[in-house]
Chain A
Amino acid sequence: MKTLLNRYTVSPFFVFYLIHSNQVGIGILSFQRAITLNAGYDAWISVLLSGISISIVIWMMYRILKLAKNDLVSINQICFGKWIGTVLNFSMVLYFLTGAVFILCSYIELIHTWMFPLMKTWHISVILLLLIYYIVSGGFRIVTGMCFISVVLPLALMIVMLFLPLKYVKIDHFSTMFSHSFHDILLSSKTMALQFLGFEALFMYYPLIKDSEKSEKWAQWGLLSTIVVYLFVTLLTFGYFSEDQLSHIIWPTLTMIKTNQLPFIERFEYIVISLWLLIIIPNISLNIWAACRGVKRVFNMKKHFSLILFMALLFVISELLNDRKSIKYLAMFYSDIGKYFTYFYIPLLFVIIHLKQFFKR
């Protein structure tokens, strides 16, 4: 692969932000209830387990990428031949798009439930999509910059927000710890894996990283900080809510933040929901960017054209999927594909590419 010009690439240490910011998104507001369905209050072990499994998957990705020295599009064609490779690449593009749609729809639903129930879906999506269009058309470096901002800027506020509910934390809730079977904990880990999705875009932006081989360390650090954030939020939630109470609440993180009260603002969750825009915008942007890049590499389509096409697609889909039921289906669909992608497809690529290497010798 020809070396790309310096002005298109980013330093390896930005992989930390690319991985971390894309993993922490809309899911962290609401994942707690889903993971406690099977494992109850032992689910914090599931968070650790799925984190570790993702760490192994990232390790595999780096082995694949280092061998191929290129992005997923050419890896697919090397491994599966031209025709199957193209089909896979096309489904990759759809996968990234699904991720973007899922995040967009969930965020719009959040705004509808918490802030503006009367606002039309298209009002919100037009604003968001214009912003995303502006970011993605700026190229990969702009997207990376947004990822960086989305980690750094809300950090201070988030830390304060999440430490204030500590007053309500009851250690007694952990008294029922270690009461679930390993099978239950594994089932919860499967649910938890959805929250860690977002790292797969690495397959697409790998060639755009300067000294890309050095970035593995940063990718793993990014994942580690995601695990720490999720673990902290999980333990905080378990201390804050009793188990049956948690099953009544859809957005536990927001409900916890609701507790905070300052003299000049009565209800803090409104600020947090607005601030969350900063966190989800780079998530969507990176997914869209990856999809555009995929289309460009496979079909040689101009990025400008594909971007407008995708924006229109997202606009239409977000208008269609605007109730809780369909968003739930979308989440299930996305997490199912994500699971196969992470735990079946990547190991498969890993095996195939190493076999090829072996036979070549």
Chain B
Amino acid sequence: MKRIFVYSICLLFLLSGCANHRIVDQVQIIESIGFDKEEDKFKVVALYPHFEEKNKVKLTDISTISYSYYDIWPKLNNKSDLPIMRGQLRMMLFGESFAKNGIETVVDSLCRDPEIGNRIFLGIAEKSASEILDKVKATNVPHYLHSLIDQNINQGNLPYGDLQVYLEKNFSKGRDTYLPFFVIEENRVKLDGLALLNKSKYITNIDMREAFILKTLINNGTNGRYQVHIKQPDGDGEGYVLLRSLDVKTNYKIDSVTPIPHVTIGLTMRVEVRDVPPGINMTNNVEIIKIEGILSKHFENAIANLISKLQKYQVDPIGFKEKIQKVSRNTNEDSLIKSYTNMKTTVNAEIKIIETGVGE
């Protein structure tokens, strides 16, 4: 018996040579990839870091034209001396014209690919993805776009969304998806709000301010920055207030479903206020209450405007359809979309200023 055990241990060592090794400097690890439409094919650009010497990285691009997602990898390998690996892929970018035709051809294949992680970020590029990746290449910073999105989720106005969140929304009937939207400004890549998608087709985009409103409505909008132009009724103290959200709570109440759904949205936001226009004294409680009133009014309008814009484009990133369905138990998609576009909302916002910075 002991002898068999010894043999099997020896066999284990022998067999470990059969598995495929991947030594890190003998493969090319793709970190971002961009898709553009070219007639009926994909134009694909991929970025990978090329290690020249210790601590020195040069981002290099490689591109190809292919018919489908799985076709990309052999085609990229045809242009590369080292095997291309996609396990570390962090960012997938789609050009505007590609996204208008729907990104599901790619994303459906992603579900089936065991090598792709669940936490990669997806994004939409204004005009073409290759242009954006070109600018990223010029910065020479690996994982540039990934870090850009990540820090804007944690410190800014971008709602959380990775591949899993995207898929979860995309495949549910009562919810639509959103992805970060990139533009080029002064030769640099700039995050410019969110692209809204319906059934994986790019419909329209909203700016960073609206993205913050959306973030407060979807998941907690903590740590967002938002500027409000205020003008007091008595004409005194006109200017901008910059606020930072500390704690946001949103609740939805479905008042009625038929014939026209009516939803009451309650928003409670505790904020820190910086930058107050001259003439407003933030140590005065009466003034603070007055500002709070103005801010609340502003948010009520902003939310109502955003929702009517979403209704106009028939996209539903907040998931109103799901909320209506929960009450009505009606799973017919057409009637859900109809009731969503007709939906009326009432918004009650309550802004509480709890901090005003360190100075007076």
CB distance from B27 to the nearest CB of A (A): 14
Which residue, of B5, B87, B114, has the highest number of chain A Cβ atoms within 10 A?
A: B114
Known: A118-B20, A134-B8. A123 touches B118 (CB 8 A): no
CB proximity to B under 8 Å, residues A254-281? 255, 258-259, 261, 266-267
Contact A113 B87 (CB under 8 A): no
Bound-state Cα–Cα, A329 to B322, Å: 37
CB proximity to B under 8 Å, residues A98-125? 113-114, 116, 118-120, 123
- Is A59 interfacial (CB 8 A cutoff)? no
CB proximity to A under 8 Å, residues B1-59? 1, 4-5, 7-8, 11-12, 15, 18-20
Contact B117 A242 (CB under 8 A): no
Contact B168 A258 (CB under 8 A): no
Bound-state Cα–Cα, A249 to B169, Å: 15
Bound-state Cα–Cα, A18 to B165, Å: 39
Bound-state Cα–Cα, A255 to B168, Å: 12
Contact A130 B1 (CB under 8 A): no
Known: A259-B119, A259-B164. A176 touches B325 (CB 8 A): yes
Contact B322 A175 (CB under 8 A): yes
- Is A159 interfacial (CB 8 A cutoff)? no
- Is A324 interfacial (CB 8 A cutoff)? no
CB nearest to A175 among chain B residues: B326
Which residue, of A114, A116, A170, A173, has the highest number of chain B Cβ atoms within 10 A?
A: A170
Q: How large is the interface on A (under 10, 10 to 19, 20 to 34, 35 or more residues)?
A: 35 or more
- Is B171 interfacial (CB 8 A cutoff)? yes
Bound-state Cα–Cα, A266 to B170, Å: 25
Contacts of A179 in B (CB 8 A): 329, 331
Bound-state Cα–Cα, A113 to B112, Å: 10
- Is A248 interfacial (CB 8 A cutoff)? yes
Bound-state Cα–Cα, A175 to B326, Å: 5
Binding site of A, secondary structure by majority: helix, strand, loop or mixed? helix
Known: A130-B11, A137-B1. A243 touches B172 (CB 8 A): yes
Bound-state Cα–Cα, A242 to B172, Å: 5
Contacts of A241 in B (CB 8 A): 168, 171
- Is B203 interfacial (CB 8 A cutoff)? no
Q: How large is the interface on B (under 10, 10 to 19, 20 to 34, 35 or more residues)?
A: 35 or more
Contacts of A255 in B (CB 8 A): 118
Known: A118-B20, A120-B18, A259-B118. A245 touches B172 (CB 8 A): yes
Cβ contact of A266, chosen from B87, B111, B172, cutoff 8 A: B87
Known: A134-B4, A258-B118, A259-B118. A266 touches B168 (CB 8 A): no
CB distance from A323 to the nearest CB of B (A): 16
- Is A168 interfacial (CB 8 A cutoff)? yes
Contact A248 B111 (CB under 8 A): yes
Contacts of B118 in A (CB 8 A): 255, 258-259
CB proximity to A under 8 Å, residues B169-197? 169-173, 175
Cβ contact of A168, chosen from B11, B15, B165, cutoff 8 A: B165
CB proximity to B under 8 Å, residues A223-270? 240-245, 248-249, 255, 258-259, 261, 266-267
Contact A131 B8 (CB under 8 A): yes
CB nearest to B327 among chain A residues: A175
Contact B4 A133 (CB under 8 A): yes
- Is B108 interfacial (CB 8 A cutoff)? yes
- Is A1 interfacial (CB 8 A cutoff)? no
- Is B310 interfacial (CB 8 A cutoff)? no
- Is B88 interfacial (CB 8 A cutoff)? yes
CB distance from A242 to the nearest CB of B (A): 3
Contacts of B5 in A (CB 8 A): 134
Bound-state Cα–Cα, A156 to B215, Å: 35
Bound-state Cα–Cα, A131 to B326, Å: 52
Bound-state Cα–Cα, A138 to B124, Å: 60
- Is A126 interfacial (CB 8 A cutoff)? yes
Cβ contact of B171, chosen from A123, A127, A138, A248, cutoff 8 A: A248
Bound-state Cα–Cα, A119 to B19, Å: 6
Contact A130 B172 (CB under 8 A): no
Instruction: Give per-residue flags for B239-265: 1 if the beta carbon is below 8 A from chain A beta carbons, else 0.
Output: 000000000000000000000000000
- Is B167 interfacial (CB 8 A cutoff)? yes
Contact A258 B329 (CB under 8 A): no
Contacts of B1 in A (CB 8 A): 134, 137-138
CB distance from B347 to the nearest CB of A (A): 20
Cβ contact of A244, chosen from B18, B171, B326, cutoff 8 A: B171
CB distance from A266 to the nearest CB of B (A): 7
Bound-state Cα–Cα, A306 to B326, Å: 58
- Is B319 interfacial (CB 8 A cutoff)? yes
CB distance from A143 to the nearest CB of B (A): 15
CB nearest to A247 among chain B residues: B171
Contact B11 A113 (CB under 8 A): no
Bound-state Cα–Cα, A133 to B322, Å: 54
Contact B18 A119 (CB under 8 A): yes
Contacts of A266 in B (CB 8 A): 87-88, 117
Since A119-B18, A126-B15, A127-B15 are in contact, a sample of 16 more A-B pairs with Cβ atoms closer than 8 Å, ordered by chain A residue number, is: A113-B114, A119-B19, A130-B8, A131-B8, A134-B5, A137-B1, A168-B165, A175-B322, A242-B171, A242-B172, A243-B171, A245-B167, A248-B111, A255-B118, A261-B119, A266-B87
* Pairs of residues from A and B, 3 with the lowest C-beta to C-beta distance, nearest first: A242-B172, A245-B171, A175-B326
